[in-house]
Amino acid sequence: GAVVSQHPSWVICKSGTSVKIECRSLDFQATTMFWYRQFPKQSLMLMATSNEGSKATYEQGVEKDKFLINHASLTLSTLTVTSAHPEDSSFYICSARPGQGSDQPQHFGDGTRLSIL
Amino acid sequence: DAKTTQPTSMDCAEGRAANLPCNHSTISGNEYVYWYRQIHSQGPQYIIHGLKNNETNEMASLIITEDRKSSTLILPHATLRDTAVYYCIVRLRNSGYALNFGKGTSLLVTP
């Protein structure tokens, strides 16, 4: 089945640093990828929609200058948390959707647990 | 996407069938029912989806009522590894939009 790989799985870093998270579709081309954030005991919340070759669409309340998304190829999207602070600590999850017209469901990476000290 | 309603939590004994209900009374004719689950500290995992016919795969069965206003996900022989939060999501099959996760049902499989 479709596989989405997310890296790294766990990051611990100091406040003020930037962290890049990669999301790759391993066996299909993904024209669209999604980035979610999940706080403890809560459900997944969509942060942004990433379309290959164009700017990401951010959900209301998500700072686009803080959460930089790049979707430069059909198999890779990256999320960079810039100048991270403790309140950015969360579980970040990406999902990928096969190309337009496909009836395949979205598939998810295993998430990245980000801890900012 | 149509709204769904699921019980907050359920228990199931290991080896027994786990039947997880979902209400989606506002579902439209071309919307599918999708089920995902999220095991603790992992990303959501796709389980199954269907339109109006019952569906079965290696993971589970999906039973959709004739009026399509509700459905049940069946894990025929639950194991401890099936302990997870299960999400029922209604949407168009080829929708380009993200999945909208509600609170889901927290299933606890006990020895």
% of chain A residues with pLDDT over 70: 94
E strand map for chain B: 9-13, 18-23, 31-38, 45-50, 55-56, 61-64, 70-75, 84-92, 105-110
| A6/B43 CB distance under 8 A | yes
Count chain A–chain B contacts defined by CB atoms under 8 A: 54
Confidence class for position B89, pLDDT limits 50, 70, 90: very high
Assign A2 a pLDDT band (cuts: 50, 70, 90). Answer: low
- Å between B63 CA and nearest CA of chain A: 19
Q: Rounded to a whole number, what is the distance in Å from the CA of A46 to chain B's nearest CA?
A: 7
Instruction: Note whether A49 contacts B97, CB cutoff 8 Å.
Output: yes
Does B41 contact A at CB distance below 8 Å? Answer: yes
Q: Residue B58 to residues A89, B14, B77: CA-CA distances in angstroms?
A: 36, 18, 12
Q: What is the mean pLDDT of residues B10-14?
A: 97
Q: Does the pLDDT at position A102 exceed 70?
A: no
User: Is the predicted pLDDT of residue A106 greater than 90, yes or no?
Assistant: no
Nearest-by-Cβ selection for A109 from B38, B43, B98? B43
Q: How many CB atoms are located within 10 Å of the residue B9 CB?
A: 11
Q: Which of A43, A46, A105 sits opposite B103 (nearest CB)?
A: A43
Identify the band that residue B82 occupies on the pLDDT scale cut at 50, 70 and 90: very high
Using CA coordinates, name the residue in chain B closest to A40: B41
**Is the pLDDT score of A101 beyond 60?**
no
Is B93 in contact with A103 (Cβ distance < 8 A)?
A: yes
